[in-house]
Chains A and B, each alone.
Chain A
Amino acid sequence: MKRPSPRLLLACVLFILLALAPILASIVGNDYPLIVLTRVVILATAAVSLDLILGYGGMVSLGHAAFLGIGAYAVGIMTAEDVTSGFVQWPLAILAAAIAAFVIGALSLRTRGVYFILVTLAFAQMVYFVGVGLDAYGGEDGLVIPTRSRFGILNLANRTTFYFICLACLVATVALVAHLARTRFGLVLRGAALNERRMRALGFPVYRYRLAAFVIAGALCGLAGILLANHSEFVSPSIMNWGRSADLIIMVVLGGMGSAIGPLIGAMVFMLAEETLSHLTTYWQLIFGPLILIFVRFARSGLIGLFPERSGDG
């Protein structure tokens, strides 16, 4: 009988704690912590989706926020056009993000290294400016989303219900990414990140595997975008600002690349660090900036590195 790995235990503890959060909020009698936590959970979903390509696939995309924007805008635009059913909205929004990821990925993956970083940034900027140019949907002012997606009797306007939906999406995303990582698909992806030539020599169509990963990551991030639009009841181009893409990368690296649970921790710690530092001083970035550098230099395995992958290790 194998003991469960520390990481799996950690994941379970985290999810149980997250699931108990609404009870805490109801004791406190204040919805606000729940609103904050919902946002953390949504951005964690986006970070986990980025980890699939960044952590496992070694593809440094500086444009992942574009898919967040596409998912969110799809919901915003459909609501503005009176399509409010979630059964229609959500699949279409995910499809839109996936198609965009396919096009962007198919082109970007022809490049390597720094060129890949820049071309993903370029595509994200293009999507950003398309958002700016949508005069009918608010342009730079953004778009107020008057009603959340409708799912029959499920009321997304209820904060607790919505929180659990977001949490379910996060758990599903983490499970999917963790599962993919263990399949042959994940092995090829990781292998190609380490040594592309060898994977090619072994006969794997590396480009196709990468593109598939890019599309899945884009679709999952689109899902996070759908949630974010419903959460904020508002969407504007700044949702896909390039700084947001950089934030997502920081979350992934902070938590630990190539571990489905790492980015979740990274996202939580990122917001907590932002928080505690900003409480000590308004000038929190003065500390956070150098911290990132120190982290990059000395702790590249991320916070998840504190928890060995298998029981018995380290």
Chain B
Amino acid sequence: MVRTFATAALMSACAVVYAHAEAGKIKIGYVNTFSGPNAFIGNDEKDGFELALDHLGRKMGNLDVQMIYEDDQIKPEVGRQVTEKLLQSDKVDVVTGYNWSNVLLASVKPAVDAKTFIISGNAGPSQLAGEACSPWFFSASWQNDQTPMALGELLNQRGVKKLFVLAPNYAAGKDMAAGVKKTFKGEVVGEEYTRWPGQVDFSTELSKVRSVKPDAVWVFYPGQAGAQFIQQYSQAGLLGQIPIYSSFTVDALTLPQLKELALGHVSTQEWVQDLDNPTNKKFVADFRKKYGRYPSYYSAQNYDAAMLIASAVVATAGKLDDKDAFRAALEKANFQSVRGKFRYNSNHFPIQDFYAQEVVKDPQGDYTMKTIGTVFTDMKDVFYEKCAMK
């Protein structure tokens, strides 16, 4: 922790001259998790962002792009420190990345204080959609509650009456659980919040699920914890006994570990790899060609984040100092999204569709997701009316 601060101290002491934004260049700070069991999320998001830069010829408008990547170690205080380092020492023009809601919540203030745009590539905490919304913050993903709200609706459609809810005990976990409970009309018969990110052994919680005997279980366990959960669910003999639904748990990142355990698993998402639009087809094909695997919604959103920033640079003709114009351009979101369409609500969160998706095997025998329906169309999050921005 101390290290990142001191690094920057030395660097800035030596390289003072370069401190200010150079002409002809946009500096983008990128904060994500690049170490620990969830590094595959950070790397996937980075890959999506980098692919967008490839497609842009590594230029936004007439500006060369300089990326500075920092590791948040999935810790809020570290995320905040590296954000501050990017803002104060590297003097970046935009900060983006941010997979985790707790890291993002801790990192917003330094960016707002420095009057620098902060664009989330994934995390969408409810606070930032409502009372704590900011003219400096934009989401390229969704508001946390939305995806599970779509899932709750799906559970209603499937006739689930008794639901057991399981989520990690941190900002996003609380939002997600609240989301599923907002739309699910049956009875929540059990509700557990586990330590995050430390707890990946779910024996205690699985025993409770067994004793309560719900109609279905809903979980939110992103990244490696998700792979662990589904595997332990199977080892406990619950898979196939009690149907399991999830949000951000079974995806392109965890499927290589889960394989047939996840076949037929149903969840909801704002983007699926088979969405039928030209931008997405190119994205998925090029991603698979460059990285040799399926992209996930993580990389898709970060592809969009890069394109969103590029659109604002183009619209303002590279005048990064004109923050009001830059904000107005971001609000227009004039770019081709892999989601087919992309427009902002007043609180800087997208208004978008949510799909039901199912795990299938592709012709090559790899596991992937297939769209099986649309749950919500042009959905707004439920917090935007609490946001002072109109």
B102 contacts chain A at the CB level, 8 A cutoff? yes
Q: Interface stretch among B6-14, B220-228, B380-388?
A: B6-14
From residue A158, how far is it (CB to closest CB) to chain B in Å?
12
Residues of B within 8 A of A232 (CB): 77, 80-81
Residues of B within 8 A of A276 (CB): 10
Of residues 16 through 33 on chain A, the ones whose CB sits less than 8 Å from some CB of chain B are 28-33
Asked if residues B80 and A36 are in contact (CB atoms below 8 Å), the reply is no
Asked if residues A271 and B6 are in contact (CB atoms below 8 Å), the reply is yes
Residues of B within 8 A of A271 (CB): 2-3, 5-6
B251 contacts chain A at the CB level, 8 A cutoff? no
Of residues 1 through 55 on chain B, the ones whose CB sits less than 8 Å from some CB of chain A are 2-3, 5-10, 12-13, 16, 19-20
Asked if residues B170 and A274 are in contact (CB atoms below 8 Å), the reply is no
**20 A–B contacts, CB within 8 A, in A order:** A28-B16, A28-B19, A29-B20, A32-B89, A33-B9, A35-B5, A39-B2, A40-B2, A132-B195, A142-B77, A146-B109, A232-B77, A233-B110, A236-B76, A238-B75, A271-B5, A271-B6, A274-B3, A278-B3, A279-B7
Chain A, residues 231-243, CB within 8 Å of chain B (1/0): the string is 0111010110000
Residues of B within 8 A of A37 (CB): 9
Residues of B within 8 A of A272 (CB): 6
- Most A Cβ at <10 Å: residue of B2, B80, B109: B2
In the bound complex, CA of A35 to CA of B76 (Å) = 18
Of residues 111 through 148 on chain A, the ones whose CB sits less than 8 Å from some CB of chain B are 132, 139-142, 144, 146
From residue A65, how far is it (CB to closest CB) to chain B in Å?
13
Asked if residues A144 and B109 are in contact (CB atoms below 8 Å), the reply is yes
Asked if residues B195 and A140 are in contact (CB atoms below 8 Å), the reply is yes
What are the 8 closest A-B residue pairs judged by CB atoms, nearest first? A36-B9, A275-B6, A32-B89, A141-B102, A32-B88, A36-B5, A33-B9, A28-B16
Q: A140-B195, A232-B77, A234-B76 are in contact. Are A278 and B7 (CB under 8 A)?
A: yes
In the bound complex, CA of A232 to CA of B79 (Å) = 12
Q: A140-B170, A234-B106 are in contact. Are A32 and B8 (CB under 8 A)?
A: yes
Residues of A within 8 A of B12 (CB): 28, 30, 32-33
Residues of B within 8 A of A140 (CB): 102, 169-170, 195-196
Partner of A139, one of B7, B105, B169: B169
A303 contacts chain B at the CB level, 8 A cutoff? no
In the bound complex, CA of A182 to CA of B10 (Å) = 37
In the bound complex, CA of A161 to CA of B332 (Å) = 41
Of residues 72 through 86 on chain B, the ones whose CB sits less than 8 Å from some CB of chain A are 75-77, 80-81, 84-85
In the bound complex, CA of A257 to CA of B81 (Å) = 30
A253 contacts chain B at the CB level, 8 A cutoff? no
B171 contacts chain A at the CB level, 8 A cutoff? yes
Of residues 83 through 134 on chain B, the ones whose CB sits less than 8 Å from some CB of chain A are 84-85, 88-89, 102, 105-106, 109-110
Q: A33-B12, A271-B2, A272-B6 are in contact. Are A141 and B88 (CB under 8 A)?
A: no
Asked if residues B7 and A142 are in contact (CB atoms below 8 Å), the reply is no
From residue A130, how far is it (CB to closest CB) to chain B in Å?
15
Residues of A within 8 A of B2 (CB): 39-40, 43, 270-271, 274
From residue A298, how far is it (CB to closest CB) to chain B in Å?
25
* Interface of chain A, main secondary structure: helix
**Which residues from chain A sit less than 8 Å from chain B, CB to CB?**
28-33, 35-37, 39-40, 43, 132, 139-142, 144, 146, 232-234, 236, 238-239, 270-272, 274-276, 278-279, 284
Asked if residues A144 and B10 are in contact (CB atoms below 8 Å), the reply is no
In the bound complex, CA of A140 to CA of B171 (Å) = 9
From residue B22, how far is it (CB to closest CB) to chain A in Å?
15
Residues of A within 8 A of B88 (CB): 30-32, 35
| Closest residue of B by beta carbon distance from A39 | B5
Q: A28-B16, A30-B89 are in contact. Are A234 and B9 (CB under 8 A)?
A: no
Q: A30-B19, A35-B5, A144-B109 are in contact. Are A239 and B10 (CB under 8 A)?
A: no
Residues of A within 8 A of B171 (CB): 141
- Most A Cβ at <10 Å: residue of B9, B20, B89: B9
In the bound complex, CA of A44 to CA of B16 (Å) = 26
| Closest residue of B by beta carbon distance from A27 | B16
Residues of A within 8 A of B13 (CB): 28, 33
Residues of A within 8 A of B20 (CB): 29
In the bound complex, CA of A142 to CA of B13 (Å) = 31
Q: A36-B8, A144-B105 are in contact. Are A234 and B170 (CB under 8 A)?
A: no
From residue A72, how far is it (CB to closest CB) to chain B in Å?
11
In the bound complex, CA of A28 to CA of B19 (Å) = 9
In the bound complex, CA of A76 to CA of B88 (Å) = 24
In the bound complex, CA of A39 to CA of B88 (Å) = 15
